[in-house]
């Protein structure tokens, strides 16, 4: 928990309290006249005043911060809503602030005539009109929007409590095509070395590639690793080589199936320091298959005459909604 930065003047605190008392009186009046419908449309302060009145003696007396709701991942160009989930108790609030990677980009100071303020940060465009004390709306995400988003909420006098919670968001883009297999020959003999490459279409993050021989994952000794590379638009590609000696046992009923699977995934990270490993969220998987057929007539340990078929890619998984 961070310590409170006291950097405000007393009149603001007074303003905040006066505003709150007015809201409370307004809410009480509306309750008394039975106009609950009107009360609910009286804005956030009105609602809060009614709630704390009804829950007197029940909930927490002081400000508490439950957490933030930050999307684990978003697609480039989408908007994202970030929520700061706090209970104010009976404490008057001073401010709600949002940071990306410790740089402040949004501030709401209670009791001011212009309570909202935004600060310019790469990748963060706040829709001010759709942002308030409990949420901020970020417009048109770019890859620069990837980062750790933190909400800091501060109570006013007499307690001055300050709490903060954060969550990570990754901006992703799926590939437009499946992976491509290169280096396939039309003819292999037992004892030949087959050398192939699988290259993923550009995406962010880069796809993870895996080779399978007859549905069995290729062992690391057969793989040739390459570094991923970045395209001019910021998207990334990866290549994985496969190199193995063709063996009779590779042909099952005269067929050999080679598959390259490309998986675009992102790892969620718990901000809670006690949990270090994240959960992998698979955004998309695509496969490329090549069929290698032996000619049925070959009896000698020679040319398993090969024909290949390129199968269309198959989309196996889709995006998983994240709240």
Ligand X SMILES: *[C@@H]1O[C@H](CO)[C@@H](O)[C@H](O)[C@H]1NC(C)=O
Q: Does 175 bind ligand X (CB under 6 A)?
A: no
Residue selected from 2, 60, 144, 157 as contacting ligand X according to rule CB under 6 A: 144
Q: Which range binds ligand X by CB under 6 A, 8-16, 38-46, 100-108, 137-145?
A: 137-145
* Residue 141 or 304 with smaller CB distance to ligand X: 141
Q: How far apart are CA 89 and CA 108, in angstroms?
A: 18
Closest CB 196 distance from ligand X, rounded Å: 6
- Helix 10-32 × helix 44-54 angle, to 10°: 70
What is the separation of C-alpha 275 from the centre of its chain, rounded to a whole number of angstroms? 18
Binding residues for ligand X restricted to 72-91, rule: CB under 6 A: none
Q: Does 197 bind ligand X (CB under 6 A)?
A: yes
Closest CB 213 distance from ligand X, rounded Å: 16
Q: Does 183 bind ligand X (CB under 6 A)?
A: yes
Closest CB 307 distance from ligand X, rounded Å: 19
Q: Which tokens hold the place of 251?
A: 């042909």
* Residue 159 or 195 with smaller CB distance to ligand X: 195
Residue selected from 205, 241, 256, 259 as contacting ligand X according to rule CB under 6 A: 241
- Let me know: does 139 contact 131? Beta carbons within 8 Å: no
Q: How far apart are CA 71 and CA 56, in angstroms?
A: 33
Q: Which of 271, 256, 239, 237 is nearest to 306 (CA)?
A: 256
Name the H helices within 76-219: none
Q: How far apart are CA 185 and CA 290, in angstroms?
A: 11
DSSP 20-36: HHHHHHHHHHHHHTT-H
Q: Which range binds ligand X by CB under 6 A, 167-175, 195-203, 244-252, 286-294?
A: 195-203
* Residue 180 or 282 with smaller CB distance to ligand X: 180
Q: Which tokens hold the place of 81?
A: 């809503």
Closest CB 142 distance from ligand X, rounded Å: 4
Closest CB 252 distance from ligand X, rounded Å: 24
Residues 183, 185, 186, CA angle at the centre, nearest 5°? Answer: 150
Q: Does 318 bind ligand X (CB under 6 A)?
A: no
Q: Which range binds ligand X by CB under 6 A, 38-46, 83-91, 139-147, 280-288?
A: 139-147
Residue nearest to ligand X according to CB distances in the complex: 183
Q: How far apart are CA 96 and CA 104, in angstroms?
A: 11
Strand, coil or helix: what is 308? strand
Q: Does 122 bind ligand X (CB under 6 A)?
A: yes
Binding stretches for ligand X (CB under 6 A): 122-123, 142-144, 182-183, 195-197, 226, 239, 241
């Amino acid at each position: 928990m961070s310590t409170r930065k006291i950097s405000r003047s007393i009149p603001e605190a007074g303003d905040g309290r006066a505003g709150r008392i007015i809201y409370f009186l307004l809410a009480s009046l509306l309750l008394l006249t039975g106009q609950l419908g009107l009360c609910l449309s009286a804005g956030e302060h009105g609602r809060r005043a009614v709630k704390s009145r009804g829950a007197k003696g029940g909930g927490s007396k002081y400000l508490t911060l439950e957490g933030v709701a930050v999307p684990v991942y978003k697609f480039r160009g989408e908007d994202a809503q970030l929520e700061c989930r706090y209970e104010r108790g009976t404490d008057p609030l001073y401010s709600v602030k949002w940071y990306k990677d410790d740089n402040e980009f949004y501030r709401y100071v209670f009791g001011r005539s212009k309570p909202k303020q935004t600060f310019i940060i790469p990748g963060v465009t706040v829709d001010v009109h759709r942002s308030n004390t409990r949420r901020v709306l970020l417009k048109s995400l770019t890859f620069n929007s990837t980062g750790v988003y933190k909400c800091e909420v501060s109570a006013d006098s007499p307690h001055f409590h300050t709490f903060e919670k954060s969550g990570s968001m990754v901006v992703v883009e799926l590939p437009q095509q499946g992976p491509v297999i290169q280096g396939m020959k039309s003819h292999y003999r037992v004892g030949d070395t087959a050398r192939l490459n699988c290259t993923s279409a550009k995406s962010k993050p880069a796809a993870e590639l895996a080779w399978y021989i007859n549905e069995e994952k290729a062992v690391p000794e057969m793989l040739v690793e390459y570094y991923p590379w970045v395209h001019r638009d910021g998207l990334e590609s990866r290549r994985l080589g496969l190199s193995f000696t063709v063996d009779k046992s590779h042909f099952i009923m005269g067929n050999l199936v080679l598959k390259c699977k490309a998986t675009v995934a992102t790892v969620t990270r718990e901000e809670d320091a006690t949990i270090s490993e994240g959960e992998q969220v698979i955004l998309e998987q695509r496969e490329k298959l090549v069929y290698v057929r032996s000619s049925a007539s070959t009896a000698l340990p020679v040319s398993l005459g090969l024909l290949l078929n390129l199968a269309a890619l198959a989309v196996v998984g889709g995006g998983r909604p994240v709240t």
